Amino acid sequence: MSEAIQWVRSLIFMIIIYAWMLVLGLVFAPYALFSKKGASQACRTYARSTMWLARWMVGIRCEVRGSPPSGEVVIGAKHQSFLDIIMIFAAIPHGKFIMKRELLWTPIIGMYARRLGCIPVNRGKKGVAVAKMVKDVAKEFAEPGQLVIYPQGTRVAPGSYKPYKVGTAVLYEGLGFPCVPVATNAGVFWPRTGIMRKPGLAIVDFLEPIESGVQRDEFLVRLEDVIETRSNELMREVGFDPDEAH
Protein backbone atom coordinates (compact mmCIF):
# COMPACT_ATOMS: atom_id res chain seq x y z
CA MET A 1 0.00 0.00 0.00
CA SER A 2 2.81 2.45 0.88
CA GLU A 3 4.41 1.89 -2.54
CA ALA A 4 1.09 2.60 -4.25
CA ILE A 5 0.72 5.83 -2.26
CA GLN A 6 4.25 6.87 -3.19
CA TRP A 7 3.47 6.21 -6.87
CA VAL A 8 0.37 8.41 -6.69
CA ARG A 9 2.33 11.14 -4.92
CA SER A 10 5.00 10.84 -7.62
CA LEU A 11 2.42 11.18 -10.38
CA ILE A 12 0.92 14.30 -8.81
CA PHE A 13 4.40 15.71 -8.29
CA MET A 14 5.31 15.18 -11.96
CA ILE A 15 2.11 16.84 -13.15
CA ILE A 16 2.72 19.82 -10.87
CA ILE A 17 6.35 20.42 -11.83
CA TYR A 18 5.63 20.36 -15.57
CA ALA A 19 2.58 22.60 -15.15
CA TRP A 20 4.75 24.90 -13.01
CA MET A 21 7.37 24.96 -15.77
CA LEU A 22 4.72 26.19 -18.21
CA VAL A 23 3.42 28.82 -15.79
CA LEU A 24 6.87 30.20 -14.95
CA GLY A 25 7.89 30.09 -18.58
CA LEU A 26 4.95 32.21 -19.63
CA VAL A 27 5.16 34.63 -16.69
CA PHE A 28 8.86 35.33 -17.25
CA ALA A 29 8.69 35.27 -21.07
CA PRO A 30 8.46 39.07 -21.62
CA TYR A 31 11.48 39.60 -19.35
CA ALA A 32 13.44 36.59 -20.68
CA LEU A 33 12.97 37.56 -24.35
CA PHE A 34 15.02 40.71 -23.84
CA SER A 35 17.31 39.72 -20.99
CA LYS A 36 19.54 36.74 -20.28
CA LYS A 37 19.26 37.73 -16.63
CA GLY A 38 15.50 37.26 -16.86
CA ALA A 39 15.91 33.83 -18.42
CA SER A 40 18.39 32.82 -15.75
CA GLN A 41 16.14 34.08 -12.96
CA ALA A 42 13.20 32.09 -14.33
CA CYS A 43 15.22 28.87 -14.59
CA ARG A 44 16.77 29.34 -11.16
CA THR A 45 13.33 29.90 -9.64
CA TYR A 46 12.09 26.74 -11.31
CA ALA A 47 15.08 24.68 -10.16
CA ARG A 48 14.86 25.76 -6.53
CA SER A 49 11.09 25.40 -6.32
CA THR A 50 11.23 21.94 -7.91
CA MET A 51 13.78 20.79 -5.34
CA TRP A 52 11.56 22.16 -2.56
CA LEU A 53 8.53 20.34 -3.99
CA ALA A 54 10.55 17.14 -4.34
CA ARG A 55 11.31 17.18 -0.63
CA TRP A 56 7.78 18.06 0.41
CA MET A 57 5.83 15.81 -1.97
CA VAL A 58 7.98 12.71 -2.58
CA GLY A 59 10.63 12.87 0.15
CA ILE A 60 13.70 13.59 -2.01
CA ARG A 61 16.17 15.79 -0.13
CA CYS A 62 18.77 17.56 -2.29
CA GLU A 63 22.33 18.20 -1.13
CA VAL A 64 25.19 19.92 -2.95
CA ARG A 65 28.71 19.04 -1.82
CA GLY A 66 32.10 20.40 -2.75
CA SER A 67 32.73 23.88 -4.13
CA PRO A 68 30.55 24.90 -7.09
CA PRO A 69 32.73 27.00 -9.44
CA SER A 70 31.99 30.64 -10.16
CA GLY A 71 34.63 31.31 -12.83
CA GLU A 72 35.05 30.12 -16.39
CA VAL A 73 35.29 26.32 -16.35
CA VAL A 74 34.10 23.23 -18.14
CA ILE A 75 31.93 21.08 -15.86
CA GLY A 76 32.02 17.38 -16.76
CA ALA A 77 29.05 15.86 -14.95
CA LYS A 78 27.57 12.45 -14.35
CA HIS A 79 24.02 12.47 -15.72
CA GLN A 80 21.42 10.10 -14.27
CA SER A 81 18.19 12.10 -14.31
CA PHE A 82 16.51 15.48 -14.74
CA LEU A 83 17.15 16.10 -11.04
CA ASP A 84 20.94 16.37 -11.38
CA ILE A 85 20.44 19.00 -14.11
CA ILE A 86 18.41 21.28 -11.88
CA MET A 87 20.66 20.73 -8.86
CA ILE A 88 23.77 21.69 -10.83
CA PHE A 89 22.07 24.70 -12.42
CA ALA A 90 20.85 25.96 -9.04
CA ALA A 91 24.37 25.68 -7.60
CA ILE A 92 26.33 27.68 -10.20
CA PRO A 93 25.97 31.36 -11.15
CA HIS A 94 26.04 31.23 -14.97
CA GLY A 95 25.32 27.71 -16.17
CA LYS A 96 25.22 26.86 -19.89
CA PHE A 97 24.60 23.34 -21.12
CA ILE A 98 25.64 21.31 -24.13
CA MET A 99 22.28 19.94 -25.27
CA LYS A 100 20.82 17.91 -28.12
CA ARG A 101 19.57 20.11 -30.93
CA GLU A 102 16.02 18.71 -30.82
CA LEU A 103 15.41 20.43 -27.47
CA LEU A 104 15.62 23.83 -29.15
CA TRP A 105 12.20 23.16 -30.66
CA THR A 106 10.62 22.19 -27.35
CA PRO A 107 8.05 24.77 -26.16
CA ILE A 108 9.32 26.96 -23.30
CA ILE A 109 12.54 24.94 -22.82
CA GLY A 110 13.89 25.85 -26.25
CA MET A 111 13.44 29.58 -25.82
CA TYR A 112 15.05 29.64 -22.41
CA ALA A 113 17.91 27.41 -23.55
CA ARG A 114 18.74 29.89 -26.28
CA ARG A 115 18.59 32.84 -23.88
CA LEU A 116 20.88 31.09 -21.38
CA GLY A 117 23.46 30.46 -24.10
CA CYS A 118 23.13 26.67 -24.21
CA ILE A 119 24.97 25.03 -27.11
CA PRO A 120 22.98 22.66 -29.34
CA VAL A 121 24.68 19.58 -30.79
CA ASN A 122 23.61 17.42 -33.73
CA ARG A 123 24.15 13.89 -32.44
CA GLY A 124 23.77 12.33 -35.87
CA LYS A 125 26.96 13.89 -37.31
CA LYS A 126 29.58 13.32 -34.67
CA GLY A 127 32.67 14.75 -36.38
CA VAL A 128 30.86 17.82 -37.66
CA ALA A 129 29.02 18.17 -34.34
CA VAL A 130 32.19 18.29 -32.26
CA ALA A 131 33.87 20.82 -34.57
CA LYS A 132 30.79 23.06 -34.60
CA MET A 133 30.38 22.67 -30.84
CA VAL A 134 33.89 24.02 -30.21
CA LYS A 135 33.25 26.98 -32.54
CA ASP A 136 29.87 27.77 -30.98
CA VAL A 137 31.19 27.47 -27.44
CA ALA A 138 34.13 29.78 -28.15
CA LYS A 139 31.69 32.36 -29.54
CA GLU A 140 29.31 32.01 -26.58
CA PHE A 141 32.12 32.47 -24.06
CA ALA A 142 32.48 36.09 -25.02
CA GLU A 143 30.41 36.26 -21.83
CA PRO A 144 31.65 34.40 -18.74
CA GLY A 145 29.98 31.25 -17.51
CA GLN A 146 30.25 27.62 -16.56
CA LEU A 147 29.81 25.17 -19.45
CA VAL A 148 28.15 21.91 -18.40
CA ILE A 149 28.68 18.85 -20.57
CA TYR A 150 27.76 15.23 -19.93
CA PRO A 151 30.78 13.15 -20.98
CA GLN A 152 28.70 10.01 -21.55
CA GLY A 153 26.36 11.97 -23.82
CA THR A 154 23.09 10.91 -22.22
CA ARG A 155 21.41 9.87 -18.97
CA VAL A 156 22.86 6.65 -17.59
CA ALA A 157 20.91 4.59 -15.06
CA PRO A 158 22.62 3.82 -11.72
CA GLY A 159 24.72 0.70 -12.10
CA SER A 160 24.88 0.94 -15.90
CA TYR A 161 27.93 1.99 -17.89
CA LYS A 162 28.46 3.97 -21.07
CA PRO A 163 31.90 5.02 -22.33
CA TYR A 164 33.06 8.59 -21.96
CA LYS A 165 33.12 10.45 -25.28
CA VAL A 166 35.89 12.58 -26.67
CA GLY A 167 33.76 15.75 -26.97
CA THR A 168 34.46 16.81 -23.39
CA ALA A 169 38.22 16.52 -23.95
CA VAL A 170 37.99 18.51 -27.19
CA LEU A 171 36.16 21.34 -25.42
CA TYR A 172 38.59 21.23 -22.51
CA GLU A 173 41.52 21.56 -24.91
CA GLY A 174 39.90 24.15 -27.15
CA LEU A 175 38.76 26.48 -24.37
CA GLY A 176 41.83 26.13 -22.17
CA PHE A 177 39.70 26.15 -18.99
CA PRO A 178 40.04 23.81 -16.00
CA CYS A 179 37.45 21.04 -15.81
CA VAL A 180 35.38 20.44 -12.68
CA PRO A 181 34.10 16.85 -12.45
CA VAL A 182 30.69 16.34 -10.84
CA ALA A 183 29.43 13.06 -9.38
CA THR A 184 25.85 12.20 -8.42
CA ASN A 185 23.48 9.55 -7.10
CA ALA A 186 20.30 11.39 -8.18
CA GLY A 187 19.11 8.56 -10.43
CA VAL A 188 18.63 6.27 -7.43
CA PHE A 189 15.64 8.38 -6.38
CA TRP A 190 14.59 10.11 -9.61
CA PRO A 191 15.08 7.56 -12.42
CA ARG A 192 15.50 8.54 -16.04
CA THR A 193 12.25 6.78 -17.00
CA GLY A 194 8.94 6.03 -15.28
CA ILE A 195 6.80 7.85 -12.73
CA MET A 196 7.98 6.52 -9.36
CA ARG A 197 10.12 8.87 -7.28
CA LYS A 198 11.73 7.36 -4.18
CA PRO A 199 12.48 9.21 -0.94
CA GLY A 200 16.09 9.68 0.08
CA LEU A 201 19.15 11.94 -0.14
CA ALA A 202 20.05 13.01 -3.70
CA ILE A 203 23.58 14.41 -3.90
CA VAL A 204 25.65 16.22 -6.50
CA ASP A 205 29.30 16.55 -5.54
CA PHE A 206 31.61 19.10 -7.19
CA LEU A 207 35.05 17.48 -7.14
CA GLU A 208 38.59 18.86 -7.33
CA PRO A 209 39.22 20.56 -10.68
CA ILE A 210 41.42 19.00 -13.32
CA GLU A 211 43.88 21.72 -14.23
CA SER A 212 44.07 23.00 -17.79
CA GLY A 213 46.72 21.61 -20.14
CA VAL A 214 46.44 17.89 -19.40
CA GLN A 215 46.97 15.69 -22.47
CA ARG A 216 43.71 14.43 -23.99
CA ASP A 217 43.98 10.72 -23.24
CA GLU A 218 45.16 11.31 -19.69
CA PHE A 219 42.39 13.85 -19.16
CA LEU A 220 39.66 11.41 -20.22
CA VAL A 221 41.05 8.65 -18.00
CA ARG A 222 41.22 10.99 -14.99
CA LEU A 223 37.77 12.42 -15.63
CA GLU A 224 36.09 9.03 -15.91
CA ASP A 225 37.94 7.62 -12.91
CA VAL A 226 37.04 10.41 -10.49
CA ILE A 227 33.41 10.74 -11.61
CA GLU A 228 32.63 7.02 -11.67
CA THR A 229 34.46 6.29 -8.41
CA ARG A 230 32.75 9.10 -6.51
CA SER A 231 29.31 8.44 -8.04
CA ASN A 232 29.56 4.80 -6.96
CA GLU A 233 30.51 5.94 -3.45
CA LEU A 234 27.51 8.28 -3.32
CA MET A 235 25.17 5.52 -4.45
CA ARG A 236 26.52 3.11 -1.84
CA GLU A 237 26.16 5.85 0.80
CA VAL A 238 22.37 5.75 0.30
CA GLY A 239 22.14 1.97 0.22
CA PHE A 240 22.33 1.30 -3.53
CA ASP A 241 25.07 -1.04 -4.73
CA PRO A 242 25.88 -0.24 -8.37
CA ASP A 243 27.74 -3.56 -8.75
CA GLU A 244 24.54 -5.50 -8.06
CA ALA A 245 22.19 -3.36 -10.13
CA HIS A 246 22.59 -5.28 -13.39
Question: pLDDT value at position 115?
Answer: 82
Secondary structure (3-state) at 34: helix
Task: Decide if pLDDT at 44 tops 80.
Answer: yes
- Terminus-to-terminus CA distance in the chain, angstroms? 27
What are 212-221's pLDDT values in tens digits? 999 999 999 9
Q: Identify the band that residue 56 occupies on the pLDDT scale cut at 50, 70 and 90.
A: very high
pLDDT of residue 136: 61
The reply to whether the predicted model has a pTM over 0.85 is yes
The residue type at 141: F
Q: Which domains does the chain have, with CATH numbers?
A: 60-244 (3.40.1130.10)
In 3D space, the residue among 86, 177, 91 whose CA is nearest the CA of residue 134 turns out to be 177
In this predicted model, what pLDDT tens digit does every residue of 102-160 receive, in sequence order? 777 777 777 888 888 887 776 555 545 555 666 666 665 556 789 999 999 889 999 99
Tens of pLDDT along 161-188? 999 998 899 889 888 899 999 999 999 9
Q: Angle, to 10 degrees, between the axis of helix 167-175 and the axis of helix 216-237?
A: 120
Cα separation of 141 and 84, whole Å? 23
Q: What radius of gyration, in Å, describes the C-alpha atoms of the chain?
A: 18
d(CA 224, CA 14): 32
pLDDT digits (tens, 9 = 90+) for 186-199: 999 999 999 999 99
